[in-house]
Amino acid sequence: MVSITKHMFVIKNKKIFIGVSLTLFLASLIFIFVQGLHFGIDFTGGSLTDVTYPDGRPDISLIQTSVEEAGFSNIVLQPTDEFGLSVKTQDLVEEQRVALLKALNIDGTMQEDSFTSIGPSIGKELQNKATIALIFVTLAIILFIAYVFRTVSEPVSSWKYGFVAVFALVHDVVLTTGAFALISVFTGAQVDMLFIVALLIVLGLSINDTIVVFDRIRENLQRNKTETSFDIVVGKSLDQSFTRSINTSLSTIIVLMALVIFGPESTKMFALTLTFGMFFGTYSSIFLASPLLVTFYEWQKPK
């Protein structure tokens, strides 16, 4: 009886955990639509200038003040290392590029490493490809789940496993995007191709956690076809996979936080996005996906 109470904690409190998830999901959607996302030049078109300060990069606030006084607004300055700086702006003509370099050269030693211009048409193409990539990965995951769980029909049909897994994926992506949008309010972070890559990785990592739990449920159902009710089977399966899921995610998050703190500036938002994705993915696989399965079971069970 003690062991049942232990591993039934999540299932017994499933309404609370599902409610928390839905609340965060709706709050993230509202914030994303109200606040909006700041798309970088990868999607909108613009210019990217990389410069180096051989004697040491001046304070970012001084550089920011200098370029603003030169008439450049909505400019993003991202340190790349101890000496480098990446400058993202709207599309620049030659005269504007020269003026920008002059404003950046506040110590008289700055060197221009590269200048890249991305037109709106290229940005639109990247946006379309990113959308297609997200849709393709989601469809591939649905087909994979449908194949793996094709033999599961009782007491919950296989398509419900797929529906729950996809909903958990959407939940993770929306919450991760909402967290990114919140951070961008304070940091000015922009949606670029690294952000899209991070979302694709989140999809893969999240479905891996969910599949591990679902696979354990399937194994336990085959061992206990008539002896144990479905909710207890799910509770036992969570208990058996809980430690593995937490340890795997925690070890990955520790590495990602090290990248956030000590890594190069250009990859910090990428690592932070993955950190949020790992956290939400682990949460959903344990506290959302499995409780939803039990909820479906209770809805269809004869009264």
CATH of the domain at 61: 3.30.70.3400
Which of 57, 89, 118 is the last residue in one of the domains? 118
Candidates 165, 163, 161, 199; CA nearest to 180 is 199
- Lookup result for tokens 């354990």: 216
pTM: 0.79
Residue type, 50: D
46: buried, middle or exposed (CB in 10 Å: 19+, 13-18, 0-12)?
A: buried
- Overall number of domains in the chain: 2
Question: Cα–Cα distance between 176 and 277 in angstroms, integer?
Answer: 5
Assess whether 144 and 170 both reside in one domain: yes
> What is the SS3 assignment for 92?
coil
Kindly provide the b/e burial profile for residues 31-40, where b requires at least 16 CB atoms within 10 angstroms of the residue's own CB.
Answer: bbeeeebbbb
Assess whether 94 and 211 both reside in one domain: no
Contact 177, 28 (CB under 8 A): yes
Torsion of the alpha carbons at 173, 175, 178 and 183, rounded to the nearest 10: -100
Assess whether 72 and 176 both reside in one domain: no
Candidates 300, 284, 21; CA nearest to 159 is 300
Assess whether 183 and 238 both reside in one domain: yes
CA distance readout (Å), 264 to 79, 147, 260 = 8, 41, 8
Domain limits at 147?
2-40+122-300
What are the phi and psi torsion angles at 249 (to 5°)? -65, -40
Structure tokens at 141: 């995951």
Which of 95, 118, 141 is the last residue in one of the domains? 118
Chain centroid to Cα 288, Å, comes to 17
Assess whether 267 and 282 both reside in one domain: yes
> Taking CA 172 as the corner, what is the angle to CA 44 and CA 14, rounded to the nearest 5 degrees?
155
Assess whether 211 and 151 both reside in one domain: yes
Up-side HSE of residue 86: CA atoms within 13 Å toward CB?
Answer: 13
Cα torsion 141, 146, 149, 154: sign: positive
Assess whether 219 and 141 both reside in one domain: yes
From first to last of its 303 residues, the chain has per-residue pLDDT tens of 334 445 578 888 999 999 999 999 999 999 999 988 888 777 777 888 899 998 888 888 889 889 988 888 777 788 877 788 888 888 888 888 899 999 999 888 899 998 887 766 556 776 777 778 778 877 777 777 777 777 665 677 777 888 888 889 899 999 999 999 999 888 878 888 888 889 888 888 888 888 888 888 888 887 776 556 888 888 888 888 888 888 888 898 999 999 888 877 778 889 999 999 999 999 998 999 989 988 888 877 655
Assess whether 221 and 236 both reside in one domain: yes
Candidates 248, 67, 275; CA nearest to 75 is 67
